[in-house]
Amino acid sequence: MIYLATFNWGWLVAAALLGLAMGWIAVVHRGQGWSTVTLRKFIVLVAALVAASVLQFVPSRPGYWLDLGLAMFAVYVVGCAIGSWLRHLVLARPAPAAEA
């Protein structure tokens, strides 16, 4: 993992900045979310990819790409969370006071 961070730091920073930007603008879109079934399938897919990476089922260059892709995905998701949180902090408006 240190090797990935050392030699691909530019890609990881780009993923973080893209996640930050997407987290910032994501609250503007009020679209339909994923269904529970689709979300569960996605979680199973990501868990299977992480297991394949940890157990080194994919050898050589494709395994390296898998590791890099998972690292970039994790950094992107963290960037999305931070961007959404920052937008909430910066643009949060106080609730109107209740009239007595």
Please tell me the predicted confidence (pLDDT) of residue 75: 93
pLDDT in tens, the chain (100 residues): 677 778 888 888 999 999 999 988 877 666 677 788 888 998 999 999 899 988 888 888 888 888 888 989 999 999 988 998 888 888 867 666 666 5
Give the C-alpha separation, 95 to 98, whole Å. Answer: 9
Give the C-alpha separation, 22 to 46, whole Å. Answer: 20
| In-domain check, residue 27 | yes
| In-domain check, residue 45 | yes
Other CB atoms within 10 Å distance of the CB of residue 78 = 15
pTM for the complete prediction? 0.77
Q: Residue 58 burial (CB < 10 Å; 0-12/13-18/19+)?
A: middle
Other CB atoms within 10 Å distance of the CB of residue 15 = 22
Name the residue with tokens 């590791």: 67
| In-domain check, residue 97 | no
| pLDDT per position as a tens digit, 55-75 | 888 888 888 888 888 989 999
Please give the residue range of the domain that contains residue 8: 2-91
Count of domains in the chain? Answer: 1
Please tell me the predicted confidence (pLDDT) of residue 11: 86
Residue type, 15: A
Q: Residue 54 burial (CB < 10 Å; 0-12/13-18/19+)?
A: exposed
| In-domain check, residue 98 | no
| In-domain check, residue 13 | yes
